Amino acid sequence: MRRRVLPGLPLALGITLVYVAIIVVLPLAALVFKAASLGPEDYWRIISSDRAVASYRVTVTCALVATVFNLFFGMALAWVLVRYRFPGRRLVDALVDLPFALPTAVAGIALTTLFATNGWFGGPLSLIGIKVAYTPLGIMVAMSFTSIPFIVRTVQPVLEELDPALEEAGQTLGASDLSIFTTVILPLLTPALLAGVSLSFARSLGEFGAIIFIAGNQPFSTEITALLAFIRLEEYDYPASAAIASVMLLTAFVMLAITNLMQARALRYTARG
């Protein structure tokens, strides 16, 4: 039997297409067009300049470190929230989303104040010779702050639905907690972890607001790619800004494909289990 066709498609699809075309597609197409109008030689010269390459290195390195930190912290946080009962658990669960709710500029000035050499954390840390604010370490702190929720929120539901019988089977066979964790639980969490990791990494690559306050923004050492694109704009060097932004856009598309793949895998895995 043919499905009855619901009304409203022309209007709903019309609104959707107009919005998507004007708000999303047009600007991104304009950026690609601007970058493409540079010609291959100029384009390559700009995106492979020493300063740009240094900014990629800073951004990618810091994002990697922040993501690895969040992998462990996020997994431990999800574990604690799902498996343990303690006073204030619900509050902690709600606070996990604070980095998403708090505007990035607010997070940026708060973290900078905490980690500056006269700050609550920066003071004690500087006594043992660790400088966070205005160093790559500061960028890592800002990146991990803004992406904490990703791994927690992808791992949490999987952990909640983990069948206790699987662990019990391991226990009956005399396996230690550690070996049950590594051979039974971890493999089941891996798809969710990978999905969370790719989201967290992608977010860190594009983060701007939280970072620029704490980074110090010195070319070649603490200048992220997003900031370089912004600086080129302020210097009225529009082609350079377009070229660098287009590199970020391409990276975002690659990351979007990877995260979608990971999420699809994680979802299929959950469905099977």
Partner 1 sequence: MAHHGKGKPPRVGDNKIFRAVLLTIVLLLVGLMIVAPLVVIGVEAFSKGIVYFGQSIADPDTRHAILLTVITALIAVPINTAFGVAAAWAITKHDFWGKRLLTVIIEIPFSVSPIVAGVSYLFVYGLQGLFGHALQAAEIKILFALPGIVLASMFVTAPFVARELIPLMQAQGRDLEEAATSLGASGWRTFFSVTLPNIKWALLYGVVLCNSRVMGEFGAVSVVSGNIRGQTNTLPLHIELLYHDYNAAGSFAAASILAGLAIVTLIAKVALERQGAGRVQRPSALAGADSITPEVKP
Q: Which is nearer to partner 1, 135 or 152 (CB)?
A: 152
Half-sphere exposure of 172 (CA within 13 A, CB side): 6
Helix-helix angle 225-234:238-272, to 10 degrees: 150
**Quick one: how many helices (H) and strands (E) in the chain?**
15, 0
Scored b (16 or more CB within 10 A) or e, 223-235 reads bbbbbbbbbbeee
Q: H-helix or E-strand containing 242?
A: helix 238-272
Q: How many residues bind partner 1 (CB under 8 A)?
A: 102
Residue from 47, 67, 99, 189 that binds partner 1 (CB under 8 A)?
99
Q: What is the dihedral of CA 188, 169, 273, 255, to 10 degrees?
A: 0
Regarding 263 and contact with partner 1 (CB under 8 A), the answer is yes
Site for partner 1 in 162-221 (CB under 8 A): 164, 167-168, 170-171, 177, 180-181, 185, 202, 205-209, 213
- Minimum distance of partner 1 from residue 64's CB (angstroms): 17
Q: Which stretch binds partner 1 (CB under 8 A): 60-68, 100-108, 123-131, 215-223?
A: 100-108
Site for partner 1 in 219-238 (CB under 8 A): 226-227, 229-230, 233, 238
Regarding 125 and contact with partner 1 (CB under 8 A), the answer is no
Residue from 98, 130, 183, 235 that binds partner 1 (CB under 8 A)?
98
Cα–Cα distance between 49 and 133 in angstroms, integer?
27
Q: Is the CA virtual torsion 176, 182, 184, 189 positive or negative?
A: positive
Site for partner 1 in 6-45 (CB under 8 A): 6-9, 11-13, 15-17, 19-20, 23-28, 30-31, 33-34
Half-sphere exposure of 95 (CA within 13 A, CB side): 9
Regarding 68 and contact with partner 1 (CB under 8 A), the answer is no
Regarding 271 and contact with partner 1 (CB under 8 A), the answer is yes
- Minimum distance of partner 1 from residue 222's CB (angstroms): 16
Q: Which stretch binds partner 1 (CB under 8 A): 42-50, 98-106, 123-131, 132-140?
A: 98-106
Q: Which is nearer to partner 1, 53 or 105 (CB)?
A: 105
Angle CA 209–251–61, to nearest 5: 65
- Minimum distance of partner 1 from residue 94's CB (angstroms): 5
